[in-house]
Amino acid sequence: MKSINSLIKEINELESQLDQKDFLLTWEQTPAELERVLKTAKVLKTMRAENIATNVFNNGLGISLFRDNSTRTRFSYASAINMLGLAQQDLDEGKSQIAHGETVRETANMISFCADAIGIRDDMYLGAGNAYMREVGEALDDGVKEGVLPSRPALINLQCDIDHPTQSMADLAWLEEHFGDLKELKGKKIAMTWAYSPSYGKPLSVPQGIIGLMTRFGMDVTLAHPEGYDLIPEVVEEAKKNAVASGGSFTQVDTMAEAFEGADIVYPKSWAPYQVMGKRTELLRANDEAGLKSLEQECLAQNAKHKDWHCTEEMMKKTKKGEALYMHCLPADITGVSCKEGEVEEAVFEKYRIATYKEASWKPYIIASMILNRKYANPGTILQQLLDDDKKRVK
Site for its own copies in 199-218 (CB under 8 A): 199
If the CB atoms of residues 159 and 215 are measured against its own copies, the closer one turns out to be 159
Contact indicator for 268, 309 with CB cutoff of 8 Å: yes
Contact indicator for 291, 276 with CB cutoff of 8 Å: no
The CB density around residue 200, as the number of other CB atoms within 10 Å, is 20
Pick one of 75, 308, 341, 347: the residue that binds its own copies (CB under 8 A): 75
If the CB atoms of residues 351 and 358 are measured against its own copies, the closer one turns out to be 358
If the CB atoms of residues 220 and 359 are measured against its own copies, the closer one turns out to be 359
CB of 194 to its own copies, least distance (A): 19
Q: DSSP 3-state assignment of 261?
A: coil
Q: Which of 4, 3, 44 is nearest to 361 (CA)?
A: 44
Q: What is the DSSP string of 124-150?
A: SSTTTHHHHHHHHHHHHHHHHHTTSSS
**Contact positions with its own copies (CB under 8 A) in 124-143:** 143
CB of 148 to its own copies, least distance (A): 4
If the CB atoms of residues 130 and 197 are measured against its own copies, the closer one turns out to be 197
Q: Which of 120, 115, 202, 127 is nearest to 158 (CA)?
A: 120
Question: In the 3-class helix/strand/coil scheme, how is 319-379 assigned residue by residue?
Answer: CHHHCCEECCCCCCCEECCCECCCCECHHHHHHHHHHHHHHHCCHHHHHHHHHHHHHCCCH
Q: Does 31 interact with its own copies (rule: CB under 8 A)? A: no
CA distances to 102, 123, 263, 386 from 294, in Å? 32, 21, 38, 55
Q: Does 110 interact with its own copies (rule: CB under 8 A)? A: yes
If the CB atoms of residues 318 and 374 are measured against its own copies, the closer one turns out to be 374
Residues in the chain: 395
If the CB atoms of residues 145 and 293 are measured against its own copies, the closer one turns out to be 145
CB of 358 to its own copies, least distance (A): 6
Q: Over the range 241-267, which residues count as b (16 or more CB within 10 Å of their CB) and which as e? A: ebbeebebbbebbeebeebbeebbbbb
Binding mask 76-95 for its own copies (x = CB under 8 A): x-xx--xxxx-xxx-x---x
Backbone phi and psi for residue 255, each to the nearest 5 degrees, phi listed first? -135, 155
The CB density around residue 313, as the number of other CB atoms within 10 Å, is 12
Contact indicator for 256, 268 with CB cutoff of 8 Å: yes
CB of 308 to its own copies, least distance (A): 22
CB of 56 to its own copies, least distance (A): 4
If the CB atoms of residues 196 and 260 are measured against its own copies, the closer one turns out to be 196
**Contact positions with its own copies (CB under 8 A) in 145-164:** 146-151
Q: How many residues bind its own copies (CB under 8 A)?
A: 79
Binding mask 35-74 for its own copies (x = CB under 8 A): -------------xx---xxxxxxxxx-x--x--xxxx-x
If the CB atoms of residues 98 and 223 are measured against its own copies, the closer one turns out to be 98
For residues 187 and 195, what is the distance between their CA atoms, to the nearest angstrom?
24
**Contact positions with its own copies (CB under 8 A) in 327-356:** 330-331, 333, 337-339, 353-354
CB of 78 to its own copies, least distance (A): 5
CB of 254 to its own copies, least distance (A): 29
